[in-house]
Chain A
Amino acid sequence: MTKRLGVLVLKPLSLVLVLLTGLCSSPASLASEARETVETLHTALLEAMKGGASLGFEGRRKLLSPVLDAVFDFRTIARLVTGRHWAGMNEAQQTEFIGVFSQLSAATYAENFDEFGGEKFETRASEPKKNAEVVRTVILSPDGDEVSLNYLLARHGEDWRIVNVIAEGVSDISLKRTEYAAVIGQDGVDGLIAKLRAKVASYGSKNS
């Protein structure tokens, strides 16, 4: 998805402003926690990328899966991606959906973060919102390309957990939500769960 999507110019002035507001905002401890959650994810992704082929798909999946379960709020995500259908799902379906969704996330990350070419993750800003926090980051390639990766985090007890990832302006939840609604419309909730299971299996089978 990293088609060169226009150059993101972070104007020096706005960078200064971002830095200043970052320094001056009072709930700095909360802001740094949200940032830490995202950086925990990025550290694990880098480890998977550097482990690459020697870890293999399964090795990367095993490495990432517990980290994802710790940094994402999969229950909230599940509720948001299923939208109005969530309330109509029984408890067993909800639990099953959360489970398969978290497996799918692990498989997707393991599949795509599979090699290291000198990329760097850089946190640019962390902005408090009402009941939420946005952490703005970029992936920098050695050739100078920048991919914007923003995270939306929500309070989860003591922690901040990721509830959405916005890559180059494409919101993961919006994308999946529309897509899942289309599948539920055709095949129902159980059909959606079956499709997600097949997806998870397809990632594993293509790789050792």
Chain B
Amino acid sequence: MAALLAAGLSTSCATAPGGSADANDPAEGMNRKFYTFNDTLDRNIFEPVARGYVKVTPDPVRSGVSKFFNNANYLNVIANDLLQGKPGQFAEDTGRFLVNSTVGVGGLFDPATKLGMPEHDEDLGQTLGTYGVGEGAYLVVPMMGPNSLRDLPGTATSFLLNPINYLSFPITFPLGALAAINTRANLLEASSIRDQAALDPYTFVREAYRQQREFKIYDGNPPDDDFDEYIESEADAAILKIY
């Protein structure tokens, strides 16, 4: 992991031909190829399947499915609470996981939120961000989508900390497929906005991804910058960082 991170930090400083420096995308050429690959696969298989799933599945069932997978992923959240030095949130999330796994029937229901233990969203990429690790190069991963060198290790840890992956294959496989369909279904609204609004979908997705990751690292409260330059002059750097 350390080597991977080091690679990320060094590539983020170098600007490969075709990549633009402020977009943090030195591998843009390759990324665009994978983006097209993913997009083709998505439009032909995943999106239609997700739409079909939404059509035939009643809303309460879909909500239960989403809750179940969120809960199954919660050990990862708890671990990162700890890594980020948030003892209060760690205690709350541990309570949340225990309550929802038991009273909430394996996570299908979410009684914990009503008991004052709301859901949090943490992962290793965010933890590394709070440690001051730069985002590293933007990456489009085949079959997975937007990512970055800083976020990539987190996809491995979230896999390892998900109990579903330790069940036997005949259970893990169909559950994994359902997880993928559920994830895609929850993104239908986002992808339709992308299809509507984007002039250059690749860039649109990249910027939205990068900004949302930043937003999550700060738990929804990114620091404000001084707006002065941005309002008064055309300083590019300030415009990019308007929050």
Contacts and interface: CB of A to CB of B under 8 A. Distances in A.
A and B associate in one complex: yes
Contacts of B224: 127, 129, 134
Interface residues of B, number: 45
A86 B233 CA distance: 12
A96 interface: no
Contacts of B187: 3
A36 B20 CA distance: 39
B203 interface: yes
Interface string A173-190: 111011111110000000
Interface of B: 20, 22-23, 66, 113, 118-121, 186-187, 189-190, 193, 196-200, 203-204, 206-208, 211-212, 214-216, 219-220, 222, 224, 226-228, 230-232, 234, 236, 239-240, 242-243
A196 B197 CA distance: 10
Interface stretch (A21-29, A37-45, A54-62, A161-169): A161-169
Given A1-B208, A178-B207, 13 more contacts: A3-B189, A5-B121, A6-B119, A111-B196, A112-B193, A130-B228, A131-B227, A152-B242, A169-B212, A171-B242, A174-B240, A175-B211, A182-B200
Given A84-B236, A132-B231, A6 B120 contact: yes
A13 interface: no
Interface in A8-41: 8-9
B121 A6 contact: yes
A201 interface: no
B198 A179 contact: yes
A131 B225 CA distance: 12
Interface string A127-152: 10111101000000000100010001
A87 interface: yes
8 contacts: A6-B119, A7-B120, A163-B231, A168-B212, A168-B215, A170-B207, A170-B215, A173-B239
Interface in A97-134: 108, 111-112, 127, 129-132, 134
A131 B228 contact: yes
A145 to B, nearest CB: 11
A76 B243 CA distance: 17
Nearest to B77: A6
A149 to B, nearest CB: 12
A171 B211 contact: yes
A178 B224 CA distance: 20
A199 interface: yes
Nearest to A10: B220
Interface residues of A, number: 51
Nearest to A136: B221
A2 B234 CA distance: 31
Give the top 6 A-B pairs by smallest Cβ distance, nearest first. A169-B215, A6-B121, A132-B227, A179-B203, A8-B220, A130-B228
A67 to B, nearest CB: 20
A1 B193 contact: yes
Nearest to B206: A178
B155 to A, nearest CB: 17
Contact of A178 (B23, B66, B234): B23
A203 B219 CA distance: 34
B204 A131 contact: no
Given A168-B215, A169-B214, A195 B189 contact: no
B25 to A, nearest CB: 10
B84 to A, nearest CB: 14
Given A131-B227, A177-B239, A84 B193 contact: no
A195 B234 contact: no
Contact of B190 (A1, A164, A180): A1
A192 B215 CA distance: 29
B216 A6 contact: yes
B234 A196 contact: no
A170 B208 contact: yes
B234 A86 contact: yes
